[in-house]
Chain A
Amino acid sequence: MSERTIIPFGPQHPVLPEPIHLDLVVEDEKVVEAIPSIGFIHRGLERLVEKKDYVDYVYVAERICGICSFIHGLTYCMAIEELMKVQVPDRAQYLRIIWSELSRIHSHLLWLGLTADSFGFESMFMQSWRLREYILDIIEETTGGRVIFGSAKIGGVRRDITPAKMDEIMKKLDAYRKDVSQLCEQFMKDQTVKHRMRGIGMLSKEDAITTGAVGPMLRGSGIAQDIRMTGYCGYDKIGFTPIIETAGDCYARCMVRVREMDASFGMIRQCVNQMTDGPIEVKVTGNPTGEFFMRSEQPRGEAIYYAKANGTKFLSRLRVRTPTFANIPPLLTTLAGCQLADVPVIVLTIDPCISCAER
């Protein structure tokens, strides 16, 4: 038996977008075990809920994550709406889906670029971030912000999209859909990509369940679980079907995300077709009381918001469980037994968002 060595990975590492530290126990080039430690960027955002008005906290909730910001704000709003028994108008729900799916596309394109970069495919990184920039332009045109949308609000949304603007956006999106699928096809068919991802970082169906994987990590192992299936925020009106792959390796997780992007373009098109004129918000008065668990599907997986209110304008407790936090145990399972050179690729296939995980 060869000698065991511990190699530190992170918190500062060229492939890591955000700080997570892994102690990799290696035997020669083989990783035997990975010991994680997080907590480098804890900001105490959950505690802040006791000092901020529940209406103002939407701005804080949106800043929990810089990439899936809209869905964070939206989940918080939906939790409060459930507590206050507010029925959101149909048009607002469709607008919420459109923005959620736009943020999913931009998050997956960002992730695709970073993953390609993690094994040295830098031109793919440039290409996918070029396409992401077009999506960000659409987001800026419709909400006013590039990554922090600021358009979710308790009781509806802040901004409407005019029909003329919607047509213009749909024309652009149809063109981008072709570009994205072309780019993804080139990526997925590439020999190097297949070589670096096929059979690497295997997560079996059983392991995915026992370690509590969420999102594309879970769906890449062949389990059809997506919170959008529950029909929150009007997803039941657009006939959603989850995307699954059965291989359970890095390539399968990549494929899930690639196919999800295409599905998101389709969902936006469907929302635009089904949307009718109407109000975009309802007036919310009074203070929330009671407690509620709200679940939503973010680009990285399932997020859970637990809100407890006591009838005042300050909530007494807010707990956020983000997808990256849930995906750390399955990551450790997949890392055990892999080669040291494959660690960056495997870490990136969970789409780590550490700021999110530490709140």
Chain B
Amino acid sequence: MSFMGFSKVVLKNLATGPVTEQYPFVPKVYPDGARGSVNIEIDKCIFCAICQRKCPTAAIVVSKEPKSWEIDRLRCISCNYCVEVCPKKCLTLDTKYAACSTERTKEKFDGPAAAPKAVPSA
């Protein structure tokens, strides 16, 4: 009978466990290449600000003086564009998503302090 068709599915569901992942008891496994959160190796960065110009949501702010690289995690859409255009390849995309936050804060990475300029001797 036609209405009995679905009972097979129901019985199968009763016999097998839940389909959903039992997070947080079972940790979430992200596939390779998943677009999670942007990370920076600040020591390699030359502060060229190409990532800032290319970012579709203006989540990245780069400052040359003092040297710093800032990202607004709530604005970032993990599109991977900054990673593609970075000339020094110091940006990477982690497979894990950024942690939740309750307020809009910026994550700031400070570059090495500029070496003091040599004062010409009189």
The residues of A with any CB-CB pair to B shorter than 8 Å are 52, 56, 59-60, 123-124, 127, 130, 133, 137, 140-145, 148, 150, 158-159, 183, 185-186, 189-192
**Chain B, 57-100, contact with A by CB distance < 8 Å: what is the 0/1 string?**
00000000000000000000111110010000000010000000
User: Chain A contacts of B2 at CB under 8 A?
Assistant: 189-191
Q: A59-B56, A123-B6, A159-B33 are in contact. List 7 more A-B contacts (CB 8 A).
A: A124-B6, A133-B19, A144-B33, A158-B80, A186-B5, A186-B6, A192-B3
Partner of A56 from the list B31, B54, B77 (CB cut-off 8 Å) is B54
Q: What residues of A have a CB within 8 angstroms of the CB of B77 in the complex? A: 59, 148
Q: Taking each of A56, A144, A159, which has the highest tally of chain B beta carbons within 10 Å of its own beta carbon?
A: A144
- 5 A-B pairs within 8 Å (CB atoms) are namely A124-B6, A150-B80, A190-B3, A190-B6, A192-B3
A150 in complex: contacting residue of B6, B31, B79, CB < 8 Å:
B79
B34 at the interface (CB under 8 A from A): yes
A residues in contact with B35, CB < 8 Å: 144-145, 150
- B10 close to chain A: CB less than 8 A: yes
Q: Which residues of A contact B93 (CB under 8 A)?
A: 144
Does B118 sit at the interface, judged by CB under 8 A? Answer: no
Q: Are B80 and A130 in contact (CB under 8 A)?
A: no
Distance of A140 Cα from B78 Cα, bound (Å): 13
Within 8 Å of chain A (Cβ to Cβ): is B9?
yes
Number of A-B contacts (CB under 8 A): 55
**Chain A residue at minimum C-beta to C-beta distance from B9:** A127
Residues of A within 8 Å of B32, CB to CB, are: 141
A185–B5 contact, CB under 8 A? yes
The answer to whether B81 and A59 have CB atoms under 8 Å apart is: yes
Would you give the shortest CB distance from A286 to chain B, in whole angstroms? 18
Provide the bound-state CA to CA distance between A130 and B17, in Å.
13
Q: CB-CB < 8 A to A190: which residues of B?
A: 2-3, 5-6
Within 8 A of A (CB), among B1-48: 2-3, 5-6, 8-10, 19, 31-35
Interface contact B6-A141, CB-CB below 8 Å? no
Chain A nearest Cβ from B14, distance in angstroms: 12
Give every chain B residue within 8 A of A183 (Cβ-Cβ): 9
CA distance A140 to B3 in the complex (A): 36
CB distance from B38 to the nearest CB of A (A): 13
The CA of A143 and the CA of B5, in the complex, are separated in Å by 36
A contact residues around B8 at 8 Å (CB): 186
- Of the listed residues A59, A133, A142, A183, the one surrounded by the most CB atoms of chain B closer than 10 A to its CB is A59
Q: Complex Cα distance A60/B80, Å?
A: 14
> Which partner residue on chain A sits nearest B8 by CB separation?
A186
Chain A nearest Cβ from B97, distance in angstroms:
11
* A140-B5 in contact given A56-B81, A150-B79 (Cβ < 8 Å): no
Q: Are B80 and A189 in contact (CB under 8 A)?
A: no
Distance in angstroms from B3 CB to nearest chain A CB is: 5
A-side contacts of B31, CB under 8 Å: 137, 140-141
**B56 lies within 8 A of A60 (CB):** yes
How close is A175's CB to chain B, nearest CB, in angstroms?
A: 14
Given the complex, which residues of A lie within 8 Å of B56, measured CB to CB?
52, 56, 59-60
User: Do A140 and B34 touch across chains, with their CB atoms under 8 A apart?
Assistant: yes
Q: If A56-B54, A56-B81, A60-B56 touch, does A141 touch B3 (CB 8 Å cutoff)?
A: no
Residues B34 and A130 in contact, CB atoms below 8 Å apart = no
The interface residues of chain B lying within 8 Å CB-to-CB of A59 are 56, 77, 79, 81
Report the separation of the CA atoms of residues A140 and B36 in the bound assembly, to the nearest whole angstrom. 11
Q: Which residues of B contact A189 (CB under 8 A)?
A: 2, 5
In the bound complex, CA of A167 to CA of B72 (Å): 39
Please measure, in the bound complex, the distance between the C-alpha atom of A183 and the C-alpha atom of B6, giving whole angstroms. Answer: 9
Q: Give bound CA distance, A190 to B1, whole Å.
A: 9
- Measured between C-beta atoms, what is the minimum distance from A50 to chain B in Å? 15
* B76 CB to nearest chain A CB (Å): 12
